[in-house]
Amino acid sequence: MRHLLSTQDLCFQDALHILDTAEEMAGVKDRQVKKLPALRGRTVVNLFLEDSTRTRISFEAAAKRLSADVLNFSARGSSVSKGESLRDTVQTLEATGADAIVMRHWASGAAHQLAESGWCSSPVVNAGDGTHEHPTQALLDAFSMRHRFAFRDGSDPATAPPVGQDLTGRHVVIVGDILHSRVARSNVWLLNTLGARVTLAGPATLMPLGAESWPCEVTYDLDEALATEPDAVMMLRIQQERMHQSFFPSTAEYTRGWGLTSERLSRLEDTEAIIMHPGPMNRGLEISSTAADSPRNTVLEQVANGVSIRMAVLYLILAAENPGKDG
Ligand code: CP
């Protein structure tokens, strides 16, 4: 694996290999010294041109647990505000010794542009590009599902990691603002590759044109989707910062039709469905506090598992498959 740009680029074996490598990485946090020497002497640049809490911190923690040096770059306070281009910014960072670029960008396709333009020689990891893709989020979601499903099936992932397991036969309902969601897109491709059935549920105004041709089902009725007793319900954040027109009459109306309210949560009581959210959550809008704080909710497990997944990705890109200029 040279870059990680999209889950569409991952075949079944690649995806499983990342998940299984992350199982090994997960053990590092339980050691007295929470570090592996695998990336000693390497430098990972976190180039974040759009805001982030989880992804940026998680990539930093992952790189440090692998003993890499980390340079954190954010647009605010940098020469990007003086008009410096992405090409010049990246070349400046490479000149300081970057070995890998982890990039979040507001523009869809920015990670592909960087990887394929020849502007830099480093591997590129897409940490979210516009409304396009967020591959490590989908990978950590799949990892979190594997763990919860293993536990539900009677084995403890802490002692028996679900290595080699895919998501065949599982049904995942992804709910809400599909139109603006890179998380939804990356999940549709990856879940499909891993054998899961996927249903997208959202208002017609927030369903992308052409979604019917994706490898998933589409419904405009959340209650109908929940009645199918899915294994996982993934709530998406309403991305108001990307909305330049009105997509629903009011937030109250959105919650009534599409929110995981306490009443909808109670209807899941007799099922084994887990509730997922990539964060940050809009409590009271797409998810009620009762659902956000429910033991079914995996949001903090997703964050914790994100470090293991990002360790696996950095390791596979920098150490295992691209041993470097001198390796
Ligand atoms: N899930 C996610 O990408 O969160 P951040 O925007 O906080 O990184």
Return the pLDDT at 241: 83
| CA terminus-to-terminus distance, the chain | 16
Task: State whether the beta carbon of 281 lies less than 6 angstroms from ligand 1.
Answer: no
Give me the residues paired with residue 45 across strands.
Answer: 71, 101
C-alpha 300 to ligand 1 mean position (Å) = 12
What is the average per-residue pLDDT within 59-77? Answer: 95
Nearest atom (ligand 1) to Cα of 306: 1
- What's the pTM value of the predicted model, to 2 decimals? 0.96
Closest-lying ligand 1 atom to the alpha carbon of residue 58:
8
pLDDT of residue 327: 45
Q: Give the tokens for residue 306.
A: 């994100």
The number of the ligand 1 atom at minimal distance from the alpha carbon of 56 is 8
Residue 326 has pLDDT above 50, yes or no: no
Binding site for L-aspartate: what residues are annotated? 82, 182, 237
- How far is the CA of 238 from the CAs of 33, 198, 202, 277, 322, in angstroms? 39, 20, 11, 11, 38
Is pLDDT of 82 > 90? no
Q: What whole-number distance in Å separates Cα of residue 272 and Cα of residue 270?
A: 7
- At 154 the three-state DSSP class reads coil
Asked if residue 241 has its Cβ within 6 Å of ligand 1, the reply is no
235-261 mean pLDDT:
90
Does the beta carbon of 52 lie inside 6 Å of ligand 1? Answer: yes
Residue identifier of the C-alpha nearest atom 4 of ligand 1: 54
The mean pLDDT value of the chain amounts to 94
Any atom of ligand 1 within 6 Å of the Cβ of 46: no
Q: Does the structure show a pLDDT above 80 at 321?
A: no
What confidence score (pLDDT) does residue 322 get? Answer: 61
* pLDDT exceeds cutoff 70 at 64: yes
Percent of the chain with pLDDT over 90: 87
Ligand 1 center from residue 187 Cα (angstroms): 15
- Bind-site residues for carbamoyl phosphate: 54-55, 104, 134, 137, 279-280
How far, in whole angstroms, is CA 124 from its chain's centroid?
A: 16
For the purposes of burial, counting CB atoms within 10 Å of the CB of 219, is it exposed (0-12), middle (13-18) or buried (19 or more)?
Answer: middle
Distance (Å) from CA 234 to ligand 1 centroid: 15
Looking at the chain, list the stretches that DSSP marks H as alpha helix, in order from N- to C-terminal side. 12-26, 54-65, 86-95, 110-116, 135-152, 182-193, 222-226, 251-258, 262-267, 289-292, 299-315
Enter the tokens of residue 164: 């080699």
Residue 325 has pLDDT above 60, yes or no: no
**For ligand 1, mutation pick of 50, 53, 134, 143 (most atoms within 8 Å of CB):** 53
Q: How far is the CA of 51 from the centre of ligand 1 (A)?
A: 8
274, 296 contact by CB (below 8 A): yes
Which is the closest atom of ligand 1 to the Cα of 53? 7
Q: Compute, in angstroms, the gap from residue 141 CA to the centroid of ligand 1.
A: 13
* Amino acid letter, residue 291: A
Query: Above 60 in pLDDT, residue 95?
Result: yes
